[in-house]
Amino acid sequence: MNDQGQQMERDQAGSAARPRVGLLAGWGRYPLVVAQALQRQGYAVYCLGGREHADGEALSQVCEDFQWLGLGRAGAAVRYFRRHEISQATMAGKFHKRLLYQPGVWFRHIPDWTAIRHFYPYFASPRLWGAGKDRKDDTLLGAIVDLFANYGIAFRPATEFVPELLAPEGQLTRRGISLAQRRDIEFGWQLAKEMGQLDVGQSVIVKDRAVLAVEAIEGTDDCIRRAGELCGSGGFTVVKVAKPNQDMRFDVPTVGLGTLQTMSAVGGRVLAIEAGKTIIVDQEEVLDYANTHKLVVVALDDPLAVRQAA
């Protein structure tokens, strides 16, 4: 056997000896950060990257194996994890639900039989299925987790592997909040929690205790841009919180450099997030950017904590 063949055998033996974990990767840098952390912790990572979402080039350099996953290929996803003897998995990165409403989406992501059988009640016409089931984020993501559980694959919160990404409590930037901004946070926090209870969105944008924009299917960045269009004078506050009964396995509030860049571009001034339940990707870079551009980032446990951070 030549040297290359011997090295391949050693690599395979090393992979077999390491604990295995599956990664379902969506949009953004968060999946890559999770994959890198898992690799450092000694896991062999087997990754399925969502088409039109994941950074396949970067993930394939970190993971033991990487495969693309079409939106409707639930059966293929289950078979992939089972083939690689995956019994635990995690989900990281956003899956843009608005993709479901683009023309021809099911021709680009033709569903397999497992997907049709499991998700038919969520996507069939109400005229064929009565009231059917809703398509809230928690409903659809919970259905995905339940599907894998049926085949012996348990999803764990990604934050169990990278707890250091969760925002610590307190004022995170050099600049603190003013009295008016504190009142806007308290006002927006309550509204954001109500929206989270309804599973509509995670973010509410306010100024002078008036709501400028509420996040829905478009995502946080587009919500911020809409607020900027409506509030030409800028100076508004973005409040982003977890749902009251947040399932930490999926759809955990996440902010990164792009969030701050969008705020800066359209006049946002304050980002208030929930401590211990919000992920900050590339935290050092994010806070350096915020300080350079005179933005405020504060992480709170609850609205009353705002007074302590002021």
C-alpha 145/C-alpha 304 separation (Å) is: 34
3 state SS of 54 = coil
What's the whole-number mean pLDDT along residues 86-101?
Answer: 86
Is residue 271 over pLDDT 90?
yes
CB atoms within 10 A of CB 151: 15
Per-residue burial over 207-227, b if 16 or more Cβ lie within 10 Å, else e, is: beeeebbbbeeebbbebbbbb
pLDDT given at position 135? 77
Confidence of residue 126 (pLDDT cuts 50, 70, 90): low
Q: What is the pTM of this model?
A: 0.86
Q: Are 161 and 38 in contact (CB under 8 A)?
A: yes
pLDDT given at position 304? 57
Q: Can you say how many angstroms the Cα of residue 1 is from the centroid of all Cα atoms in its chain?
A: 46
C-alpha 275/C-alpha 169 separation (Å) is: 5
**145: burial class by Cβ within 10 Å (0-12, 13-18, 19+)?**
middle
What's the whole-number mean pLDDT along residues 214-239?
Answer: 96
pLDDT given at position 132? 63
Per-residue burial over 32-66, b if 16 or more Cβ lie within 10 Å, else e, is: bbbbbbbeeeebbbbbbbbebbbbbebbbebbbeb
Q: Does 229 or 118 have the greater pLDDT score?
A: 229
Sorted by sequence, the CB contacts under 8 Å of residue 248 that are 6+ apart come out as: 157, 159, 277
Could you tell me the domains of the chain?
Answer: 18-160 (3.40.50.20), 166-309 (3.40.140.80)
pLDDT given at position 236? 98
C-alpha 304/C-alpha 81 separation (Å) is: 44
Tens-digit pLDDT profile for residues 59-92: 999 999 999 998 788 999 999 999 999 999 999 9
pLDDT given at position 287? 98
CB atoms within 10 A of CB 109: 18
What's the whole-number mean pLDDT along residues 45-64?
Answer: 95
Q: What percent of the chain has pLDDT over 90?
A: 72
